[in-house]
Each structure stands twice: as structure tokens, then as C-alpha cells.
Structure 1
Amino acid sequence: MNKFSEREKSFEKKFMHDQELQFKVSAKRNKYLAEWAGSKLGKNDEQRQNYVQEVIKADLEEAGDEDVFRKVKKDFENSAINIDDSEIRNQMSLALERAKEDFK
């Protein structure tokens, strides 16, 4: 194998590793966000665990974070709980930072 091929393989491996890490961080962020939201929604432990799975699944609908935001916002609205958009987004940011710390 020549140097170029070795280097190319190395970059491919790093890219795959970075993508996998990003996926894991996002899933962990969604878990933390869902635990916070589930608590605000008055869910018990079992319901909260199911809710975590729902939020993680919602993140697979489209690229980016808006699908998760819309899910959580809609769930608050359906439960007649008034949570400001900025509070949800702030919790998403806090959950992301916490998730990143988990993988350091």
C-alpha cells in the first residue's frame, strides 16, 4: 500500500470515528433533554424511560435538532404546560454540553 492510500484510509477511519462519536453525543443529549422534559411533564421513572426512547427516535426524522425541539415543544403544549421556547433551547444546549463531557 502506498503512502497516499494509507493516508486516505486513515482519514476515512477518523471520519467514521467522528461520525460515530457525534451520533453518540446527540443520543446522550436527547436522553438528558428527555429526562428533564419528562420530569416537567410529570412522568414517572418508567414513563420517562419510554419518553427518552421517543425523543431519541424523533431525532432520526431529519438532520439537525429541530425535530427534537418540535417534539418536546409539542409534548409540553399537549400537556398544557407553558415552557418558553428559549427554555427548551437552553436545556438542549445544557444537555449537549453535559453529553460532550461524558465522552471526553
Structure 2
Amino acid sequence: MTTFDKREQGFEAKFAHDEELVFKATARSNKLLGHWAAAQLELSGAAAASYVTALVTDNLESQTIDGVVGKVSDDLAGKGVTREQVAQKLQDCLHQAVQQIEAKA
């Protein structure tokens, strides 16, 4: 194996690791946002868990950050929560998720 091959494997491993971290941080931040939104909607128990699960799993394949913010802001529109507030909360949740992941590493 040449030095170039080793270097290529190193880059591939780092890319896979970074993608896994992004995936975990996104899923965790959506979960945190879901818990916050469920509390705003006054959901508890199974209803809150279902809301959180739907927010996390729906995002895995098709939704973008804008999609998540849009869904939650639509859900919270009747509570007087703006899209900007939801976007800010998602940023806070992402920061918290990254900290939690780094703490486990």
C-alpha cells in the first residue's frame, strides 16, 4: 500500500466520521426542538413522544432545515410563536446537540 492509498483511506474515514456526526447532531437537535415544540403545544405523554418521533424521522430522508422550521412554525402559529423564534430555537438546539455529542466522545 502506497502513501497515497493510506492518505486516501484517511480522508475517506474522516469524511465518513464527519457525516456521521452531522447526522447525529441533526437528529438530536430535531429531537430537542420537538420536545420544546411539544411543550409549547401542551402535549404530554404519548402525544408528545409521537410528535418528537415524527419530527425526527420525517427529517431523515426528505426534509431540510427550512422544512423542519416550517413544520414547527406552522404547528406553533396558533401559539404566537414566529418562524424566526423557531429558527433561533433550532440553532440553540443544534448547539446543545453538538455539545452533548462532544461530551460523549
Q: TM-score normalised to the size of structure 2?
A: 0.89
Deviation for aligned residue 1:85: 1.5
Give secondary structure in 2 for the equivalent of 1:103.
helix
Q: Which has the higher helix share?
A: 2
Deviation at 1:82, TM superposition (A): 1.5
What is the CA–CA distance in structure 1 between the aligned matches of 2:47 and 2:40, rounded to whole Å? 12
Distance 2:69 2:83 in 1: 9
CA distance in 2, matches of 1:94, 1:55: 17
Aligned match of 1:87: 85
TM-score by length of 1: 0.90
Alignment-derived partner of residue 23 in structure 2: 23
Alignment of 1:1-104 (within 5 A): 1-59=1-59, 60-62=61-63, 64-77=64-77, 80-104=78-102
Q: Give per-residue Cα distances to partners, 1:64-97, cap 9 Å, x unaligned.
A: 40110111012123xx222112211111011011
Shift of 1:48: 1.3
Does the 8 Å contact 1:30/1:56 carry over to 2? yes
CA contact (8 A) 1:58 1:67 kept: no
CA distance in 2, matches of 1:10, 1:21: 16
Matched position secondary structure for 1:43: coil
Q: Is contact 1:29–1:92 with CA below 8 Å preserved after alignment?
A: yes
Q: How many residues align?
A: 101
Question: Structure 1 unaligned runs (5+)?
Answer: none
Q: Aligned partners of 2:68, 2:9: CA distance in 1, in Å? A: 34
Secondary structure of residue in 1 paired with 2:79: coil
> How far apart, in 2, do the equivalents of 1:10 and 1:41 lie?
46
- Over aligned residues, Cα RMSD in angstroms? 1.2
Question: What runs of 5+ residues in structure 2 fail to find an aligned partner?
Answer: none
